[in-house]
């Protein structure tokens, strides 16, 4: 329950409108660093829309999504960044990001937010191992000097490539798919594809990983919170701003 003492992500007054339809209405919640947190709600409640706002696929109509990497941001830190025209700033212990201001690729690359999808989206024709290497494209490209060093076979690139393969192998062990490393991802059974998708997200070294449920329309969600906006479970009694815990 670190959302009180060490929040990683603070969502405040998130609203997303599609024309006249209000998909998410004034939603606030905190996600604690290292906590496993679930977003529950009935079909159409707006869960996917919240994920899409956090990952930058949608720009929220209103609201603030403050993510503090490696440290606790105070209310003053968040307020100062909100007042400034920038998207992120360094503060005493780490980096603070306003995700609603960032394009999706920066949210993944700089703020280190990774996600999986309700419907599996692997590179079906690539091998299992290649799917995990693609996830490490950014460090590999940096080490390759935007390709040149890679072409020349420079040591920095070879080391980065080895590190990427080692990390991929470690995840293949964890998800018990080492023996399928060279098979096309599309040939794996559904459960294995889901595990691979989670491993691929983890290979980007994310802070918050946002895995989706297994897909389909689940009865437990309907039972859990009927006729309400999406809410975190366990539900918070009220919104607590970052400074309340700082």
Ligand X SMILES: Nc1ncnc2c1ncn2[C@@H]1O[C@H](COP(=O)(O)OP(=O)(O)OP(=O)(O)O)[C@@H](O)[C@H]1O
Q: Which is nearer to ligand X, 138 or 229 (CB)?
A: 229
193 binds Mg ion (CB under 5 A): no
Q: Which does 44 bind (CB under 5 to 8 A by kind): ligand X, Mg ion, none?
A: ligand X
| Single residue of 28, 37, 48, 88 touching ligand X by CB under 6 A | 48
Backbone phi, psi, residue 17, to 5°: -110, 140
Please tell me whether residue 10 adopts helix, strand or coil conformation: strand
116 binds Mg ion (CB under 5 A): no
44 binds ligand X (CB under 6 A): yes
48 binds Mg ion (CB under 5 A): yes
Please report how close the Cβ of residue 52 comes to ligand X at its closest, in angstroms: 7
231-238, long-range: CB within 8 Å, 24+ apart, which pairs? 231/27, 231/29, 231/39, 231/40, 231/41, 232/29, 232/31, 232/37, 232/38, 232/39, 232/40, 233/37, 233/38, 233/39, 233/40, 236/3, 236/29, 236/30
**Beta carbons of 163 and 198 less than 8 angstroms apart:** no
Stretch that binds ligand X, among 18-26, 61-69, 154-162, 203-211 (CB under 6 A): 18-26
**Beta carbons of 13 and 26 less than 8 angstroms apart:** yes
Stretch that binds ligand X, among 17-25, 91-99, 107-115, 170-178 (CB under 6 A): 17-25
45 binds ligand X (CB under 6 A): yes
Residues that bind ligand X (CB under 6 A): 18, 21, 23, 41, 43-49, 217
């Amino acid at each position: 329950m670190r959302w009180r003492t060490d929040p990683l992500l603070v969502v405040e007054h998130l609203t997303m409108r599609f024309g006249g339809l209000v998909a998410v209405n004034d939603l606030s919640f905190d996600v604690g660093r290292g906590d496993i947190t679930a977003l529950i709600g009935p079909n159409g409640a707006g869960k996917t829309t919240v994920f899409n706002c956090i990952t930058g696929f949608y720009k929220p109509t209103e609201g603030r999504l403050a993510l503090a990497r490696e440290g606790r941001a105070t209310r003053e830190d968040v307020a100062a960044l909100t007042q400034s025209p920038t998207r992120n700033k360094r503060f005493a212990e780490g980096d603070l990001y306003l995700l609603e201001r960032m394009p999706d690729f920066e949210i993944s690359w700089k703020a280190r937010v990774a996600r999986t999808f309700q419907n599996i989206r692997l590179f079906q024709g690539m091998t299992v191992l290649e799917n995990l290497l693609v996830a490490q494209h950014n460090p590999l490209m940096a080490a390759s000097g935007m390709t040149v060093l890679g072409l020349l076979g420079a040591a920095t690139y070879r080391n980065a490539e080895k590190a990427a393969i080692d990390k991929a192998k470690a995840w293949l062990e964890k998800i018990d798919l080492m023996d399928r490393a060279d098979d096309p991802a599309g040939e794996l059974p559904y459960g294995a594809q889901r595990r691979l998708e989670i491993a691929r997200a983890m290979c980007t070294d994310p802070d918050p990983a946002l895995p989706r449920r297994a897909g389909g329309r689940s009865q437990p969600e309907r039972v859990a919170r009927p006729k309400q906006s999406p809410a975190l479970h366990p539900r918070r009694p009220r919104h607590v701003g970052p400074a309340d815990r700082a």
